[in-house]
């Protein structure tokens, strides 16, 4: 799927990787980019339509879906990451509300448009979906759950021609990793790699040097093989072929 001429919605579009995804979509010739944000956003490019979209607000999600007739690619990028030690249930619930249920709710709301377009869903998850960093365990739990959601949606929506991509992003230089002194990719690099991989039809995307180092072993590993075998149980023969 090439990005030129496509209509794309990015959640969490005002900063970090979301902002870079909007810029990259425009530079690749997207026809319309819906920029979902919690605070109002002004964008100099006329192809950008700002949209009030707190992914924990059922009312805002419903209103946003009502304004969009056509959608080729939904990028669930909005995310929350807080340091914790799993001692406070409320912190876990906050992560699940944004990273799992936000992704779920936005996806469900835009599914009719995506199915009509035979489009794609791109969930910006985290390498921590595969292995937690115990400095942010609640975040890792929410990303692991969102990854599992992504895998099931991939199998369930294949028959409708909707592709579902998981982005297993590694450390990226945004507000989320401020003060964390480790090698990080730039958000622009990550955004380019995500669109390249969507273009190439890669279902699991490893968009930075840290995540790319595990891509081969993930794709050839037992867990991926099991995902394929399980998915075949719910896919019609044409999609599973
Ligand atoms: N940076 C990394 O190293 C890294 C690594 C792996 C995965 N990721 C994932 O990449 C995605 C983007 O992260 P980032 O690094 O760009 O972080 P960021 O700079 O902290 O940006 C987070 C974005 O999510 C938005 N957001 C948070 N809660 C929201 C809500 N309830 N509704 C709508 N938008 C909400 C924020 O909006 P406000 O400005 O309104 O807060 C902001 O636009 C996240 O899903 C994150 O988990 C990041």
Q: Determine which helix (DSSP H) or strand (DSSP E) holds 164, and give its type and residue range.
A: strand 163-167
Per-residue confidence (pLDDT) for residue 1, from 0 to 100? 76
Q: Please, what sign has the CA dihedral across residues 154, 155, 160, 163?
A: positive
Which position has the token pair 């937690």?
132
Q: What is the pLDDT of residues 48-73, one digit of tens each?
A: 999 999 999 999 999 999 999 999 99
CA of 228 to the centre of ligand 1 (A): 30
Instruction: Tokens for 34, please give them.
Output: 């819906």
Tokens of 99: 């990273």
Query: Using the 8-state DSSP alphabet, how is residue 75 labeled?
Result: E
Average pLDDT, the chain: 96
Q: What pLDDT score does 187 carry?
A: 98
Gap between the Cα atoms of 14 and 187, Å rounded: 13
Percent of the chain whose predicted confidence (pLDDT) is above 90: 95
User: Which tokens go with 202?
Assistant: 């890669």
pTM, rounded to two decimals: 0.97
- What phi and psi values does residue 172 have, to the nearest 5 degrees? -130, 145
pLDDT of residue 229: 97
162 lines ligand 1 (CB under 6 A): no
Q: Tokens 């093989």 map to which residue? A: 225
d(CA 130, CA 108): 24
Give the per-residue pLDDT at 240: 46
- What pLDDT does residue 236 have? 67
Ligand 1, atom 17: closest residue by C-alpha:
176
Cα distances (Å, whole numbers) of residue 86 to 56, 82, 130, 201: 21, 11, 18, 36
Ligand 1 atom closest to 98 (CA): 31
Q: What is the distance in A from the centroid of ligand 1 to the CA of 69? A: 26
Quick check: 241 pLDDT over 60? no
Looking at the predicted structure, is the pLDDT value of residue 235 above 90? Answer: no
74-108 pLDDT, tens digit per residue, is: 999 999 999 999 999 999 999 999 999 999 999 99
3-class DSSP assignment, residue 208: coil
pLDDT greater than 70 at residue 237? no
Ligand 1 mean position to 136 CA, how many Å? 14
pLDDT in tens, 136-189: 999 999 999 999 999 999 999 999 999 999 999 999 999 999 999 999 999 999
Nearest ligand 1 atom, CA 20: 16
Question: What's residue 238's pLDDT?
Answer: 59
The enclosing H or E element of 223 equals helix 222-232
Average pLDDT over residues 120-125: 98
Q: Which of 19, 196, 11 is nearest to 99 (CA)?
A: 11
CA 132 and chain centroid, separation? 18
The pLDDT value given to residue 167: 99
Q: Is 91 in the pocket of ligand 1 (CB under 6 A)?
A: no
- What does the pLDDT read at residue 169? 98
For ligand 1, atom 19, which residue shows the shortest CA distance?
A: 16
Kindly provide the b/e burial profile for residues 31-64, where b requires at least 16 CB atoms within 10 angstroms of the residue's own CB.
ebbbbbbbeebebeeeebbbbebbbeeeebbeeb
């Amino acid at each position: 799927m090439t990005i030129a001429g496509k209509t794309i919605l990015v959640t969490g579009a005002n900063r970090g990787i979301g902002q870079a995804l909007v810029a990259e979509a425009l530079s690749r010739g997207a026809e319309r980019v819906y920029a979902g944000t919690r605070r109002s956003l002004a964008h100099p490019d006329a192809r950008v339509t700002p949209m009030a979209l707190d992914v924990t607000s059922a009312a805002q999600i419903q209103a946003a879906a009502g304004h969009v007739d056509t959608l080729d690619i939904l990028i669930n990028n909005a995310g929350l990451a807080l340091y914790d030690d799993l001692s406070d249930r409320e912190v876990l619930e906050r992560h699940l509300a944004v990273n799992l249920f936000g992704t779920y709710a936005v996806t469900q709301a835009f599914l009719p448009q995506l199915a009509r377009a035979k489009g794609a869903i791109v969930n910006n998850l985290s390498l921590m979906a595969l292995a937690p960093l115990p400095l942010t365990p609640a975040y890792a739990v929410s990303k692991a759950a969102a990854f599992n959601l992504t895998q099931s949606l991939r199998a369930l929506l294949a028959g409708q021609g909707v592709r579902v991509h998981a982005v297993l992003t590694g450390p990226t230089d945004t507000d989320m990793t401020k003060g964390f002194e480790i090698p990080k990719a730039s958000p622009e690099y990550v955004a380019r790699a995500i669109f390249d991989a969507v273009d190439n039809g890669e279902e699991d995307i490893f968009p930075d040097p840290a995540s790319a180092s595990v891509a081969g072993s993930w794709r050839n590993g037992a867990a991926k093989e099991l995902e394929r075998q399980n998915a075949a149980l719910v896919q019609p023969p044409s999609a599973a072929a």
